[in-house]
Amino acid sequence: MIELTTVPADEAIVIGTSTGGLHALQTVIAGLPLGLPAAVLIVMHTAEGESLLPALLARVARMPLRHARDGEPVLAGRILVAPPGQHLMVERTGAGCRAVLTRGPKENYCRPAIDVLFRSAAAAYGPRATGVVLTGQLDDGTMGLLSIKTCGGRAVVQLPEDAVAPSMPASALQHVDVDKVLRLPEIAGALTQMVGGAVPAVPAATPTPEWIQLENRYAGKGSDMDSLARIATPSTFTCPECQGTLWEVRSPGLKRYRCHTGHALTEQTLASLQDRLVEDALSSALRALHEKEKLLRQMAEDAVQAGQAKAALDHVQQAAEAQRSAEVLHRLITARHVADGALESA
Protein backbone atom coordinates (compact mmCIF):
# COMPACT_ATOMS: atom_id res chain seq x y z
CA MET A 1 0.00 0.00 0.00
CA ILE A 2 1.36 3.41 -1.00
CA GLU A 3 1.18 6.03 1.74
CA LEU A 4 -0.03 9.45 0.69
CA THR A 5 2.34 12.35 1.23
CA THR A 6 1.47 15.16 3.60
CA VAL A 7 4.31 17.34 2.34
CA PRO A 8 3.47 20.93 1.35
CA ALA A 9 3.67 21.30 -2.40
CA ASP A 10 6.76 23.07 -3.70
CA GLU A 11 5.15 23.19 -7.14
CA ALA A 12 1.62 23.69 -8.40
CA ILE A 13 -0.08 22.74 -11.65
CA VAL A 14 -3.18 24.87 -12.20
CA ILE A 15 -5.65 23.82 -14.88
CA GLY A 16 -8.50 25.84 -16.34
CA THR A 17 -11.27 24.78 -18.70
CA SER A 18 -14.87 25.44 -19.66
CA THR A 19 -16.97 24.09 -22.59
CA GLY A 20 -15.95 20.49 -23.29
CA GLY A 21 -13.92 20.46 -20.10
CA LEU A 22 -15.13 17.24 -18.51
CA HIS A 23 -13.65 14.98 -21.17
CA ALA A 24 -10.51 17.11 -21.37
CA LEU A 25 -9.96 16.96 -17.61
CA GLN A 26 -10.62 13.23 -17.48
CA THR A 27 -8.02 12.66 -20.19
CA VAL A 28 -5.37 14.75 -18.44
CA ILE A 29 -6.12 13.58 -14.88
CA ALA A 30 -6.07 9.91 -15.88
CA GLY A 31 -2.46 10.29 -17.03
CA LEU A 32 -1.07 11.91 -13.88
CA PRO A 33 0.75 9.40 -11.65
CA LEU A 34 0.20 8.72 -7.97
CA GLY A 35 2.92 10.51 -6.03
CA LEU A 36 3.30 13.39 -8.47
CA PRO A 37 5.64 15.88 -6.72
CA ALA A 38 3.25 18.79 -7.25
CA ALA A 39 -0.24 19.87 -6.26
CA VAL A 40 -2.88 20.07 -8.97
CA LEU A 41 -5.66 22.65 -8.71
CA ILE A 42 -8.55 22.83 -11.16
CA VAL A 43 -11.12 25.42 -12.16
CA MET A 44 -13.91 24.46 -14.54
CA HIS A 45 -16.69 26.92 -15.24
CA THR A 46 -19.80 25.52 -13.55
CA ALA A 47 -23.19 26.83 -12.49
CA GLU A 48 -23.93 27.29 -8.80
CA GLY A 49 -25.40 24.30 -6.99
CA GLU A 50 -24.26 20.78 -6.29
CA SER A 51 -21.41 19.61 -8.50
CA LEU A 52 -20.59 16.05 -9.52
CA LEU A 53 -17.28 17.07 -11.10
CA PRO A 54 -15.00 15.58 -8.40
CA ALA A 55 -16.89 12.29 -8.48
CA LEU A 56 -16.66 12.11 -12.27
CA LEU A 57 -12.95 12.91 -12.26
CA ALA A 58 -12.18 10.58 -9.35
CA ARG A 59 -13.32 7.63 -11.47
CA VAL A 60 -10.24 7.99 -13.67
CA ALA A 61 -7.76 9.66 -11.29
CA ARG A 62 -4.85 7.87 -9.68
CA MET A 63 -4.19 10.82 -7.37
CA PRO A 64 -6.54 11.69 -4.47
CA LEU A 65 -9.09 14.22 -5.72
CA ARG A 66 -11.91 16.26 -4.15
CA HIS A 67 -13.37 19.74 -3.79
CA ALA A 68 -11.02 22.23 -2.13
CA ARG A 69 -11.72 23.31 1.44
CA ASP A 70 -11.07 26.82 2.66
CA GLY A 71 -7.81 27.12 4.59
CA GLU A 72 -6.51 23.60 3.96
CA PRO A 73 -2.80 23.10 3.13
CA VAL A 74 -1.92 22.54 -0.51
CA LEU A 75 -0.11 19.21 -0.57
CA ALA A 76 1.99 17.47 -3.18
CA GLY A 77 0.32 14.58 -4.96
CA ARG A 78 -3.24 15.84 -4.37
CA ILE A 79 -5.85 17.31 -6.73
CA LEU A 80 -8.20 20.06 -5.54
CA VAL A 81 -11.21 21.21 -7.57
CA ALA A 82 -12.87 24.61 -7.20
CA PRO A 83 -16.41 24.27 -5.75
CA PRO A 84 -19.32 25.89 -7.63
CA GLY A 85 -19.91 29.55 -6.87
CA GLN A 86 -16.53 30.12 -5.19
CA HIS A 87 -13.17 31.33 -6.45
CA LEU A 88 -10.28 29.00 -5.65
CA MET A 89 -7.03 30.75 -4.77
CA VAL A 90 -3.72 29.74 -3.24
CA GLU A 91 -1.94 31.82 -0.63
CA ARG A 92 1.57 31.39 0.73
CA THR A 93 1.79 30.78 4.48
CA GLY A 94 5.31 30.23 5.72
CA ALA A 95 6.85 27.08 4.26
CA GLY A 96 3.81 26.09 2.21
CA CYS A 97 0.58 27.34 0.70
CA ARG A 98 -3.06 27.03 1.64
CA ALA A 99 -6.24 26.94 -0.42
CA VAL A 100 -8.52 29.96 -0.11
CA LEU A 101 -12.17 29.92 -1.16
CA THR A 102 -13.91 33.24 -1.67
CA ARG A 103 -17.18 34.58 -3.01
CA GLY A 104 -15.39 37.58 -4.45
CA PRO A 105 -16.65 39.45 -7.52
CA LYS A 106 -17.07 37.46 -10.71
CA GLU A 107 -14.29 37.67 -13.27
CA ASN A 108 -15.15 37.22 -16.92
CA TYR A 109 -18.70 36.62 -15.66
CA CYS A 110 -17.52 33.47 -13.86
CA ARG A 111 -17.11 32.30 -10.28
CA PRO A 112 -14.99 30.23 -10.04
CA ALA A 113 -12.81 31.99 -12.61
CA ILE A 114 -9.65 30.58 -14.13
CA ASP A 115 -7.79 33.89 -14.05
CA VAL A 116 -8.27 34.13 -10.28
CA LEU A 117 -6.66 30.75 -9.59
CA PHE A 118 -3.83 31.26 -12.08
CA ARG A 119 -3.02 34.76 -10.85
CA SER A 120 -2.87 33.65 -7.21
CA ALA A 121 -0.66 30.68 -8.16
CA ALA A 122 1.68 33.05 -9.96
CA ALA A 123 2.10 35.13 -6.81
CA ALA A 124 2.37 32.12 -4.46
CA TYR A 125 4.58 29.78 -6.49
CA GLY A 126 6.45 32.04 -8.92
CA PRO A 127 8.65 29.94 -11.26
CA ARG A 128 7.28 26.72 -9.76
CA ALA A 129 3.75 27.33 -11.07
CA THR A 130 2.61 25.67 -14.28
CA GLY A 131 -0.60 26.86 -15.92
CA VAL A 132 -2.64 24.72 -18.30
CA VAL A 133 -5.43 26.13 -20.48
CA LEU A 134 -7.79 23.58 -22.00
CA THR A 135 -10.93 23.80 -24.14
CA GLY A 136 -13.37 26.65 -23.51
CA GLN A 137 -15.24 29.64 -24.91
CA LEU A 138 -14.04 33.28 -24.83
CA ASP A 139 -10.75 34.05 -23.05
CA ASP A 140 -10.81 33.35 -19.31
CA GLY A 141 -7.38 31.97 -18.40
CA THR A 142 -5.35 34.08 -20.81
CA MET A 143 -4.45 36.82 -18.31
CA GLY A 144 -3.92 34.26 -15.58
CA LEU A 145 -1.50 32.36 -17.80
CA LEU A 146 0.29 35.61 -18.60
CA SER A 147 0.57 36.24 -14.85
CA ILE A 148 2.24 32.88 -14.40
CA LYS A 149 4.72 33.60 -17.19
CA THR A 150 5.36 37.09 -15.80
CA CYS A 151 6.36 35.51 -12.47
CA GLY A 152 8.68 33.00 -14.14
CA GLY A 153 6.34 30.00 -14.40
CA ARG A 154 5.46 27.77 -17.33
CA ALA A 155 2.50 27.67 -19.69
CA VAL A 156 0.90 24.68 -21.42
CA VAL A 157 -2.02 25.05 -23.83
CA GLN A 158 -4.21 22.51 -25.58
CA LEU A 159 -3.89 22.65 -29.35
CA PRO A 160 -6.96 24.69 -30.44
CA GLU A 161 -7.72 22.26 -33.28
CA ASP A 162 -7.89 19.50 -30.66
CA ALA A 163 -10.38 21.39 -28.45
CA VAL A 164 -14.17 21.13 -28.40
CA ALA A 165 -14.21 24.92 -27.96
CA PRO A 166 -10.99 26.45 -29.31
CA SER A 167 -11.48 30.07 -28.14
CA MET A 168 -9.69 29.84 -24.78
CA PRO A 169 -6.63 27.99 -26.08
CA ALA A 170 -6.44 30.24 -29.15
CA SER A 171 -6.58 33.39 -27.00
CA ALA A 172 -3.82 32.07 -24.74
CA LEU A 173 -1.62 31.33 -27.73
CA GLN A 174 -2.23 34.78 -29.17
CA HIS A 175 -1.27 36.70 -26.02
CA VAL A 176 1.14 34.48 -24.06
CA ASP A 177 4.60 33.09 -24.79
CA VAL A 178 3.53 29.48 -24.28
CA ASP A 179 6.05 26.73 -23.48
CA LYS A 180 4.10 23.79 -24.93
CA VAL A 181 1.11 23.39 -27.26
CA LEU A 182 -0.16 19.81 -27.07
CA ARG A 183 -3.03 17.51 -27.86
CA LEU A 184 -4.96 16.18 -24.87
CA PRO A 185 -3.30 12.74 -24.72
CA GLU A 186 0.14 14.38 -24.59
CA ILE A 187 -0.47 16.83 -21.75
CA ALA A 188 -0.26 14.54 -18.70
CA GLY A 189 3.07 13.09 -19.78
CA ALA A 190 4.49 16.53 -20.43
CA LEU A 191 3.37 17.81 -17.03
CA THR A 192 4.86 14.78 -15.29
CA GLN A 193 8.21 15.48 -16.93
CA MET A 194 8.08 19.21 -16.19
CA VAL A 195 7.53 19.08 -12.42
CA GLY A 196 10.17 18.17 -9.87
CA GLY A 197 13.08 19.29 -12.01
CA ALA A 198 14.84 22.48 -12.89
CA VAL A 199 12.79 25.64 -13.31
CA PRO A 200 13.55 28.76 -15.33
CA ALA A 201 16.05 30.99 -13.58
CA VAL A 202 14.60 34.26 -12.27
CA PRO A 203 16.14 36.83 -9.93
CA ALA A 204 15.42 35.82 -6.33
CA ALA A 205 14.33 39.33 -5.37
CA THR A 206 11.92 39.84 -8.28
CA PRO A 207 8.70 41.18 -6.72
CA THR A 208 5.24 40.18 -7.87
CA PRO A 209 3.96 42.99 -10.15
CA GLU A 210 1.58 45.38 -8.44
CA TRP A 211 -1.30 44.69 -10.83
CA ILE A 212 -1.17 40.98 -9.90
CA GLN A 213 -1.08 41.75 -6.17
CA LEU A 214 -3.97 44.20 -6.29
CA GLU A 215 -6.14 42.05 -8.53
CA ASN A 216 -5.58 39.09 -6.20
CA ARG A 217 -6.78 41.33 -3.39
CA TYR A 218 -9.99 42.12 -5.29
CA ALA A 219 -10.76 38.43 -5.75
CA GLY A 220 -9.97 37.67 -2.12
CA LYS A 221 -10.50 40.19 0.65
CA GLY A 222 -11.57 43.04 -1.60
CA SER A 223 -9.91 46.35 -2.38
CA ASP A 224 -10.78 50.03 -2.66
CA MET A 225 -11.08 52.84 -5.19
CA ASP A 226 -7.61 54.20 -4.43
CA SER A 227 -6.05 50.82 -5.19
CA LEU A 228 -7.92 50.57 -8.48
CA ALA A 229 -6.69 54.02 -9.48
CA ARG A 230 -3.10 52.79 -9.10
CA ILE A 231 -3.51 50.20 -11.86
CA ALA A 232 -6.39 51.48 -14.00
CA THR A 233 -7.96 54.55 -15.58
CA PRO A 234 -11.70 55.33 -15.91
CA SER A 235 -13.38 54.31 -19.17
CA THR A 236 -16.67 55.34 -20.74
CA PHE A 237 -18.15 51.87 -20.25
CA THR A 238 -20.52 50.55 -17.58
CA CYS A 239 -20.23 47.27 -15.70
CA PRO A 240 -23.00 44.98 -17.00
CA GLU A 241 -23.26 43.31 -13.58
CA CYS A 242 -23.50 46.26 -11.16
CA GLN A 243 -23.81 49.28 -13.51
CA GLY A 244 -20.73 50.90 -11.97
CA THR A 245 -18.06 52.65 -14.02
CA LEU A 246 -15.52 50.31 -15.59
CA TRP A 247 -11.84 51.19 -15.34
CA GLU A 248 -9.36 50.03 -17.97
CA VAL A 249 -6.58 48.06 -16.29
CA ARG A 250 -3.03 49.05 -17.18
CA SER A 251 -1.40 45.65 -17.60
CA PRO A 252 0.17 43.66 -20.44
CA GLY A 253 -1.82 41.32 -22.64
CA LEU A 254 -5.55 41.60 -23.20
CA LYS A 255 -7.40 44.87 -22.75
CA ARG A 256 -9.40 44.44 -19.55
CA TYR A 257 -11.75 46.34 -17.28
CA ARG A 258 -12.63 46.41 -13.57
CA CYS A 259 -15.29 48.27 -11.62
CA HIS A 260 -15.04 49.46 -8.02
CA THR A 261 -17.05 46.44 -6.89
CA GLY A 262 -14.30 44.28 -8.36
CA HIS A 263 -16.03 42.69 -11.34
CA ALA A 264 -13.40 42.05 -14.01
CA LEU A 265 -13.97 41.60 -17.72
CA THR A 266 -11.81 41.21 -20.77
CA GLU A 267 -12.79 43.25 -23.79
CA GLN A 268 -14.16 40.14 -25.51
CA THR A 269 -16.21 39.08 -22.48
CA LEU A 270 -17.59 42.61 -22.10
CA ALA A 271 -18.70 42.60 -25.74
CA SER A 272 -20.34 39.19 -25.26
CA LEU A 273 -22.24 40.38 -22.17
CA GLN A 274 -23.34 43.57 -23.90
CA ASP A 275 -24.68 41.47 -26.77
CA ARG A 276 -26.63 39.39 -24.25
CA LEU A 277 -28.03 42.54 -22.66
CA VAL A 278 -29.14 43.84 -26.07
CA GLU A 279 -30.82 40.50 -26.83
CA ASP A 280 -32.62 40.51 -23.48
CA ALA A 281 -33.73 44.12 -23.96
CA LEU A 282 -35.08 43.44 -27.45
CA SER A 283 -36.94 40.34 -26.25
CA SER A 284 -38.44 42.29 -23.33
CA ALA A 285 -39.49 45.11 -25.66
CA LEU A 286 -41.13 42.66 -28.08
CA ARG A 287 -43.05 40.98 -25.25
CA ALA A 288 -44.17 44.38 -23.92
CA LEU A 289 -45.45 45.43 -27.35
CA HIS A 290 -47.45 42.19 -27.75
CA GLU A 291 -48.97 42.65 -24.29
CA LYS A 292 -49.70 46.31 -25.01
CA GLU A 293 -51.52 45.40 -28.24
CA LYS A 294 -53.59 42.74 -26.50
CA LEU A 295 -54.49 45.09 -23.63
CA LEU A 296 -55.51 47.90 -25.99
CA ARG A 297 -57.76 45.58 -28.04
CA GLN A 298 -59.37 44.40 -24.81
CA MET A 299 -59.89 48.03 -23.78
CA ALA A 300 -61.45 48.74 -27.20
CA GLU A 301 -63.96 45.89 -26.71
CA ASP A 302 -64.84 47.21 -23.27
CA ALA A 303 -65.33 50.69 -24.71
CA VAL A 304 -67.67 49.38 -27.44
CA GLN A 305 -69.79 47.59 -24.82
CA ALA A 306 -69.94 50.81 -22.82
CA GLY A 307 -71.05 52.78 -25.88
CA GLN A 308 -67.85 54.84 -26.03
CA ALA A 309 -67.20 54.79 -29.76
CA LYS A 310 -64.44 57.42 -29.83
CA ALA A 311 -62.48 55.76 -27.04
CA ALA A 312 -62.87 52.39 -28.78
CA LEU A 313 -61.47 53.84 -32.02
CA ASP A 314 -58.52 55.41 -30.20
CA HIS A 315 -57.69 52.08 -28.55
CA VAL A 316 -57.89 50.21 -31.88
CA GLN A 317 -55.54 52.72 -33.51
CA GLN A 318 -53.06 52.47 -30.64
CA ALA A 319 -53.24 48.66 -30.79
CA ALA A 320 -52.48 48.75 -34.52
CA GLU A 321 -49.48 51.00 -33.88
CA ALA A 322 -48.17 48.59 -31.22
CA GLN A 323 -48.65 45.70 -33.68
CA ARG A 324 -46.65 47.51 -36.38
CA SER A 325 -43.86 48.32 -33.92
CA ALA A 326 -43.75 44.67 -32.80
CA GLU A 327 -43.47 43.51 -36.42
CA VAL A 328 -40.54 45.89 -37.05
CA LEU A 329 -38.80 44.73 -33.87
CA HIS A 330 -39.40 41.07 -34.74
CA ARG A 331 -37.73 41.59 -38.13
CA LEU A 332 -34.75 43.24 -36.41
CA ILE A 333 -34.36 40.34 -33.97
CA THR A 334 -34.62 37.81 -36.80
CA ALA A 335 -32.00 39.70 -38.81
CA ARG A 336 -29.64 39.68 -35.79
CA HIS A 337 -30.04 35.91 -35.42
CA VAL A 338 -29.36 35.36 -39.11
CA ALA A 339 -26.24 37.57 -38.94
CA ASP A 340 -24.99 35.77 -35.82
CA GLY A 341 -25.49 32.40 -37.52
CA ALA A 342 -23.55 33.55 -40.56
CA LEU A 343 -20.65 34.69 -38.37
CA GLU A 344 -20.55 31.40 -36.46
CA SER A 345 -20.46 29.37 -39.68
CA ALA A 346 -17.87 31.60 -41.35
Amino acid identity of 154? R
> What is the SS3 string spanning the chain?
CCCCCCCECCCEEEEEECCCHHHHHHHHHHCCCCCCCCEEEEEECCCCCCCCHHHHHHCCCCCCEEECCCCCECECCCEEECCCCCEEEEEEECCEEEEEEECCCCECCECCCHHHHHHHHHHHHHHHEEEEECCCCCCCCHHHHHHHHHCCCEEEEECHHHCCCCHHHHHHHHHCCCCEEECHHHHHHHHHHHCCCCCCCCCCCCCCCHHHHHHHHHHCCCCCHHHHHHHEEEEEEECCCCCCEEEEECCCCCCEEEECCCCEEEHHHHHHHHHHHHHHHHHHHHHHHHHHHHHHHHHHHHHHHCCCHHHHHHHHHHHHHHHHHHHHHHHHHHHHHHHHHHHHHC
- Minimal CA–CA distance to 268: which of 181, 142, 160? 142
For β-strands 264-266 and 256-259, DSSP reports them as antiparallel
Using a 10 angstrom Cβ sphere, with 0-12 exposed, 13-18 middle and 19 or more buried, the burial of residue 7 is: middle
Mark whether 140 is an active-site residue: yes
Mark whether 45 is an active-site residue: yes
Is residue 90 within 8 A of residue 65, CB to CB? The reply is no
Q: Pick the catalytic residue: 18, 167, 223, 251?
A: 18
Mark whether 314 is an active-site residue: no
Rounded CA separation 240/89 (Å):
25
Q: Pick the catalytic residue: 87, 120, 139, 140?
A: 140
C-alpha distance from residue 236 to each of 243, 247, 248, 259 (Å): 12, 8, 9, 12
Kindly list the catalytic residues.
Answer: 18, 45, 140
